[in-house]
C-alpha cells in the first residue's frame, strides 16, 4: 500500500503555491493524499512554514510537540518541515524537535521525496537547505486544489529591502521566469478548464528585470488576455515604486484582466515609508490610484497597512488615516507592527508600546470599515458576474446561498434558487445588499453558465498535475484579494 501524506500550509500564496508542488512531487513519488478526515493518521506530515507571522516559531514547535506521541507510537511515520521558517532555523529545528525527519528550505522544494527516502534509509534526520534557488518550483509536478482558478508564479524572491520584511533573506533575490514558460502554463491551465489565473510574484512590477525587459509585465498581461478560454486574470502583488503607466494601460485594454488592484500602502507617512525603506511617497501612491481609476473607473483597490512601525508618531499615523480617506480602498489588510527577528526594523529604536499600536489600529479599522461599507452599499442594484467558488461562504449551508467573487474581487453571497449551480460555474446576479465585508444577492439568477470547470468540479477532477516541462510553476481556490494578503507584510 502506498504511503499517505498531508501538508499543513502556513502563510502566503507563495507557500500555497509551493505546497501544490510538494503534493505533486509526493504523488509522483507514489504517495497518496490522506483524506482530510484522516490527515492526523498520515504516514508523512509536511509543514510548509511561514516566518512572517508573530510567534510563528512557537506555533511550529507547539505543533511538532503535538505530533510527538504519534511519531513514537507509529515508527514508520515521518515529519518534514519546509518553508521560510525552515530556511531560517535550519538545523535548529531538529535540535529543538529531534523527532523531525526532514528539514528542507525554500530553494530546494524539489528535494522533499529524496530527503524523506534518505531519512528512512539512514534512519537519521536529513537537513538540507540550499542558499540559492536550485529548481524553479514551477517546473515541478503540481497537485492543484481548484478546477476553476489557479496560481501561476512569474517570479520568486525580491530585490527590495523593506526593513520590516524577512522575504529577501529567506527567498533570495528576484528570479524571473521566462514569459514563454509562464504563458505555456497559463495555456495548459485554460485548456484544462481553469477560468481564472492569478499571476504571483513578490513584486510583479519589477518582472523582467532579470532578462532586461522593463515592459515585460504589461506585455504578459496582454498576452494572457489572448489565451483562449481564460476569462479572468489577476495579479499580486505590485509595488508602487515600480508601477508604470504601461501596466495600467494593459489592465484597462485587456478585457480578461479584472478591474481590481491590490497595492500595498504600508504607511501614509513619508517619514515612516523612508524608515521602512519603501522608496515611493504618499503623493506618488495616490497619483497611481488616480491614474488607475481614470482608466478603470470601477476598479476595486485593496491594500496592506502596518500600524505602529517603530518611531511612528501621532502625526505619522494621522497621515496614514488621511491617505486611507483619500484612497477609498474597497478593503484593507491591516497589521499591527511587531518586530520579526532577522529584519532590520526589529533593531530600530522607538518600538511603540502595544497599547498605543492597538488604539491606532482600532481607529484605522473603524475608518476603513466605514469606507468599505460605503463602497459595498454603492454596489446595490448593480448586476455583477460571479465565478462560483467552493469554500468561500462559511454560512452558505445555513443561508442556502452560494458564494463567489465578482470580477472586481468582491465576495458575493447569492441565492441559487432551484438552479444546479456548481463551483466553477459563472452566474450573473443583482446586488441587493452591500454589507461591510461582502455583497448579498437574494434575487433570481439573471444568468447561469455551466462551465467545463463546473463539470470537472462535480466529477471531482483536478487540473494539470504535470509540470509544463519548459524549464521552470492557488488560493487553493484563489480568493483573489483576500487570500492575496493573507500574511500581508511579506507580500510586497
Residues contacting 181, CB < 8 A, separation 6+: 138, 468, 470, 471, 472
List 94, 158, 223, 272, residue binding ligand SF4 (CB under 6 A): 158
Q: Are 100 and 125 in contact (CB under 8 A)?
A: yes
* Stretch touching ligand SF4 by CB under 6 A, among 111-119, 161-169, 359-367, 415-423: 161-169
Q: Is 412 exposed, middle or buried (0-12, 13-18, 19+ CB in 10 A)?
A: buried
Instruction: Decide if residue 167 touches ligand SF4 (CB under 6 A).
Output: yes
Q: Measured from the CB atom, is 303 or 468 closer to ligand SF4?
A: 303
Smallest separation (angstroms) from ligand SF4 to the CB of 118: 32
206 binds ligand SF4 (CB under 6 A): no
Separation CA 17–CA 381 (nearest Å): 37
- Which letter does DSSP use for residue 270 in this model? H
* Span near ligand SF4 by CB under 6 A; candidates 96-104, 157-165, 341-349, 431-439: 157-165
> Among 119, 162, 364, 390, which residue sits at the site for ligand SF4 (rule: CB under 6 A)?
162
Look at residue 454 and give its three-state secondary structure. Answer: helix
Cβ contacts of 2 within 8 Å, gap of 6 or more: 30, 31, 32
Q: How far is CA 361 from the centre of its chain?
A: 23
Determine the angle formed by the axes of helices 13-28 and 112-122, rounding to 10 degrees. Answer: 60
Q: Alpha helices of 378-440 — where are they, by DSSP H?
A: 396-399
- Note whether 492 binds ligand SF4 by CB under 6 A: yes
* β-sheet bridge partners, residue 104: 128
- Of 141-149, 160-168, 294-302, 414-422, which part binds ligand SF4 (CB under 6 A)? 160-168
Cell output for 299: 476598479
Give the contacts of 293 (CB within 8 A, at least 6 positions apart): 299, 301
Q: Does 84 appear as a known binding residue? A: yes
Nearer to ligand SF4, 310 or 467 (CB): 310
> Would you count residue 220 as binding ligand SF4 (CB under 6 A)?
no
Q: What residues contact residue 456 under an 8 Å CB cut-off, 6+ apart?
A: 147, 192, 193, 424, 462, 463
Tell me how far, at minimum, the Cβ of 478 lies from ligand SF4, in Å. Answer: 19
What one-character DSSP code corresponds to residue 192?
A: T
Span 335-364, contacts to ligand SF4 by CB under 6 A: none
Instruction: State the DSSP code for 490.
Output: G
Cell of 397: 449551508
Q: Which residue is nearest to ligand SF4 (CB)?
A: 492
CB of 14 to ligand SF4, least distance (A): 10
Q: What are the DSSP calls for 316-384, one per residue?
A: HHHHHHHHHHHHT-SEEEEEE----TTSGGGG-S-PPPHHHHHHHHHHHHHHHHHHHHHHHHTTTT-EE
| Residue 162 counted as an annotated binding residue | yes
Name which of 306 and 390 has its Cβ closer to ligand SF4: 306
Of 126 and 492, CB closest to ligand SF4: 492
Q: Does 236 bind ligand SF4 (CB under 6 A)?
A: no
168 contributes a contact to ligand SF4 by CB under 6 A? yes
Q: Which residue has the cell 481556490?
A: 477
Indicate the residue among 276 and 456 with the shorter CB distance to ligand SF4: 276
State yes or no: 165 annotated in a binding site. yes
Distances (CA, A) of 230 to 250, 289, 395, 448, 465: 16, 26, 30, 18, 18
Residue 158 labelled as part of a binding site = yes
Tell which one of 198, 202, 451, 468 touches ligand SF4 (CB under 6 A). 202
14 contributes a contact to ligand SF4 by CB under 6 A? no
106: contact with ligand SF4 by CB under 6 A = no
User: How far apart are CB 394 and ligand SF4 at their closest, in Å?
Assistant: 30
Query: Is residue 302 a contact point for ligand SF4 (CB under 6 A)?
Result: no
Region binding ligand SF4 by CB under 6 A among candidate stretches 154-162, 401-409, 451-459, 466-474: 154-162
Q: Which is nearer to ligand SF4, 197 or 263 (CB)?
A: 263
Give the C-alpha separation, 43 to 34, whole Å.
9
Q: Are 323 and 285 in contact (CB under 8 A)?
A: yes
Range in contact with ligand SF4 (rule: CB under 6 A) among 132-140, 162-170, 342-350, 408-416: 162-170
- The one among 53, 239, 340, 457 contacting ligand SF4 by CB under 6 A: 239
Q: Is residue 303 involved in binding ligand SF4 (CB under 6 A)?
A: no
The binding site for ligand SF4 (CB under 6 A) comprises 158, 160-162, 165, 167-168, 202-203, 239, 490, 492
- Residues belonging to the binding site are 12, 50, 84, 158, 162, 165
- Residues belonging to the binding site for [4Fe-4S] cluster are 12, 50, 84, 158, 162, 165
Amino acid at each position: 500500500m502506498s504511503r499517505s501524506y498531508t501538508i499543513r500550509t502556513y502563510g502566503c500564496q507563495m507557500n500555497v503555491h509551493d505546497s501544490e508542488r510538494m503534493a505533486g512531487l509526493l504523488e509522483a513519488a507514489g504517495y497518496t493524499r490522506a483524506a482530510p478526515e484522516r490527515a492526523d493518521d498520515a504516514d508523512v506530515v509536511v509543514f510548509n512554514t511561514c516566518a512572517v507571522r508573530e510567534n510563528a516559531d512557537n506555533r511550529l514547535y507547539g505543533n511538532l510537540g503535538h505530533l510527538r506521541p504519534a511519531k513514537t507510537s507509529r515508527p514508520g511515520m515521518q515529519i518534514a518541515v519546509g518553508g521560510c521558517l525552515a530556511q531560517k532555523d535550519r538545523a535548529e529545528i531538529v535540535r529543538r524537535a529531534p523527532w523531525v525527519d526532514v528539514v528542507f528550505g525554500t530553494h530546494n522544494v524539489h528535494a522533499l521525496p529524496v530527503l524523506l527516502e534518505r531519512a528512512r534509509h539512514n534512519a537519521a534526520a536529513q537537513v538540507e537547505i540550499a542558499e540559492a534557488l536550485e529548481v524553479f518550483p514551477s517546473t515541478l509536478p503540481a497537485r492543484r486544489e481548484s478546477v476553476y482558478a489557479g496560481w501561476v508564479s512569474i517570479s520568486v524572491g525580491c530585490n527590495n529591502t523593506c526593513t520590516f520584511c524577512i522575504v529577501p533573506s529567506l527567498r533570495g533575490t528576484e528570479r524571473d521566469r521566462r514569459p514563454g514558460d509562464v504563458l505555456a502554463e497559463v495555456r495548459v491551465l485554460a485548456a484544462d478548464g481553469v477560468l481564472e489565473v492569478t499571476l504571483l510574484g513578490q513584486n510583479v512590477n519589477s518582472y523582467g528585470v532579470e532578462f532586461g525587459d522593463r515592459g515585460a509585465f504589461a506585455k504578459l498581461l496582454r498576452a494572457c488576455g489572448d489565451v483562449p478560454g481564460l476569462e479572468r486574470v489577476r495579479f499580486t502583488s505590485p509595488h508602487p515604486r515600480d508601477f508604470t503607466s504601461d501596466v495600467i494601460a494593459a489592465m484597462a485594454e485587456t478585457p480578461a484582466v479584472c478591474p481590481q488592484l491590490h497595492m500595498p500602502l504600508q504607511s501614509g507617512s513619508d517619514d515612516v515609508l523612508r524608515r521602512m525603506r519603501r522608496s515611493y511617497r504618499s503623493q506618488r501612491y495616490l497619483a497611481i490610484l488616480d491614474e488607475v481609476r481614470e482608466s478603470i473607473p470601477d476598479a476595486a483597490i485593496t491594500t496592506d497597512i502596518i500600524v505602529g512601525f517603530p518611531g511612528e508618531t501621532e502625526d505619522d499615523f494621522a497621515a496614514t488615516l488621511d491617505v486611507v480617506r483619500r484612497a477609498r480602498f474597497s478593503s484593507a489588510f491591516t497589521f499591527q507592527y511587531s518586530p520579526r527577528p532577522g529584519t532590520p526594523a526589529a533593531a530600530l529604536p522607538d518600538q511603540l508600546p502595544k497599547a498605543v499600536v492597538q488604539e491606532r489600529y482600532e481607529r484605522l479599522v473603524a475608518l476603513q470599515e466605514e469606507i468599505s461599507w460605503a463602497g459595498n452599499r454603492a454596489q446595490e442594484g448593480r448586476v455583477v458576474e460571479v465565478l462560483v467558488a467552493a469554500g468561500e461562504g462559511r454560512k452558505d449551508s445555513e443561508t442556502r446561498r452560494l458564494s463567489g467573487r465578482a470580477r472586481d474581487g468582491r465576495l458575493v453571497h447569492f441565492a441559487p434558487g432551484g438552479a444546479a449551480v456548481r463551483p466553477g460555474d459563472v452566474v450573473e446576479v443583482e446586488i441587493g445588499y452591500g454589507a461591510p465585508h461582502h455583497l448579498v444577492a437574494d434575487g433570481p439568477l439573471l444568468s447561469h453558465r455551466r462551465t467545463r470547470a463546473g463539470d470537472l468540479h462535480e466529477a471531482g477532477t483536478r487540473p494539470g498535475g504535470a509540470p509544463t516541462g519548459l524549464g521552470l510553476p492557488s488560493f487553493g481556490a484563489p480568493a483573489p484579494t483576500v487570500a492575496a494578503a493573507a500574511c500581508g507584510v511579506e507580500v510586497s
